[in-house]
Amino acid sequence: MDYVNHITDLTGNTPLVKLNKIVKKCAGTFLVKLESFNPGHSIKDRIGLKMIEDAEKNGYLKPGGTIIESTSGNTGMGLALAAIRKGYKIIVTMPDKMSSEKIDILRAIGAKVIITPTNVAPEDINSYYSVAKNLQKKIENSFYINQYDNLANRRTHYQTTGPEIWRQTNKKITHLIAGVGTGGTITGCAMFLKEKNPKIKIWGIDTYGSVYKKFHETGEFDPNEIYAYTTEGIGEDIIPKNVDFQLIDHFEKVTDKDAALMTRRLAKEEGIFAGNSCGAALAGTMQLKDKISNSDVVVIIMPDHGSRYIGKVYNDNWMKKQKFI
């Protein structure tokens, strides 16, 4: 018989798919790594089980315990699937800008969801970071996973995502492009790929309202760069420990509008029903297309599935309200 023991055993080994119509006038080969093929439909499935097992190994999580995490949604889902497998309870804190689909899915798979205000400083007692940290103090036998500073995050991508890309491109990759949220994906992949070939370019996609690009270019953490934005899953108002800026060659900022419109184009022109940050990653790639030559092999990481954004990016009323269409 051909089967796996648990749904989480299907995590990883996601496909690379060639883009055709959107990039038809561009030099180079453009491949997208579709992380929506993971069992929870996002790249965060990779780190969910790994971070839990790392916490168990270090004695932070014990049987019957409670997992706590601050998340834009996808990490919460990856952790919730792993919690089902391991027998833990899970509580996630989320900013109120996140899609209702993410909240509903999390509750459907057993997570308790606490919604927090988006437009507050990270150190504010009501931020989703602070609420999660305080819950750990109050709940006995609980552990705050903290994907931002938990280095098991980037280590997972060093061990899995990076090697997959190297193998799937037959060692021919010249550019890796990924949105930067916690920084675990881009840093872990970059660690592996630059070991194999230091000439590979690593480009991070940022959003307006995030501190990353300016911090990368100047070393300055500028609070004036921080303001509310609608793109989900990328950008930050903190500097997570998972980001290694020395491995990232360039940051490119993408507007909320361009990210949303490109997300829709992926569905209509390529048949790829992808999430909001996927559109941001491709929009940023198109902004940099003149830096790519015919012999280049560009891999763009597409973190999640479009089903999480039905009420937002794929909803005409929401798009009109944002003045994107």
Task: Dump pLDDT digits (tens) for 195-210.
Answer: 999 999 999 999 999 9
Q: Is the pLDDT of residue 98 over 90?
A: no
Structure confidence at residue 18 as a pLDDT band (50, 70, 90): very high
Average pLDDT over residues 214-235: 95
Q: Is the pLDDT of residue 305 over 90?
A: yes
CA–CA dist 78, 51 (Å, integer)? 10
pLDDT digit string, tens, across residues 278-287: 999 999 999 9
Which residues are marked as active site?
A: 44
State which of 19-33, 52-66, 84-98, 116-130 shows the largest mean pLDDT: 19-33
Distances (CA, A) of 32 to 254, 258, 308, 324: 18, 18, 19, 25
- pTM (global) more than 0.85: yes
Please give the pLDDT value at position 196: 98
Q: Is the pLDDT of residue 122 over 90?
A: no
Q: Is the pLDDT of residue 276 over 90?
A: yes
Nearest CA to 29 out of 323, 315, 324, 297 is that of 297
Structure confidence at residue 221 as a pLDDT band (50, 70, 90): very high
Q: Is the pLDDT of residue 107 over 90?
A: yes
Domains of the chain: residue spans and CATH: 7-37+161-319 (3.40.50.1100), 45-144 (3.40.50.1100)
pLDDT digit string, tens, across residues 52-75: 999 999 999 999 999 999 988 899
Q: For residue 115, what are the β-bridge partners?
A: 94
Q: Is 33 helix (H, G, I), strand (E, B) or coil?
A: strand
pLDDT digit string, tens, across residues 169-196: 999 999 999 999 999 999 999 999 999 9
Distances (CA, A) of 135 to 67, 125, 145: 10, 11, 12
Place of tokens 């305080």: 134
Angle value at C-alpha 184, between 236 and 189, nearest 5 degrees: 130
Structure confidence at residue 118 as a pLDDT band (50, 70, 90): confident
Share of the chain above pLDDT 70, in %: 100
Please give the pLDDT value at position 123: 86
Please give the pLDDT value at position 148: 94
Bridge pairing between strands 29-34 and 16-18:
antiparallel
Bridge pairing between strands 89-95 and 112-116:
parallel
Name the average pLDDT for the chain.
96
Please give the pLDDT value at position 99: 86
Structure confidence at residue 34 as a pLDDT band (50, 70, 90): very high
Nearest CA to 166 out of 187, 203, 196 is that of 196
Nearest CA to 89 out of 97, 80, 98 is that of 80
CA–CA dist 218, 306 (Å, integer)? 35
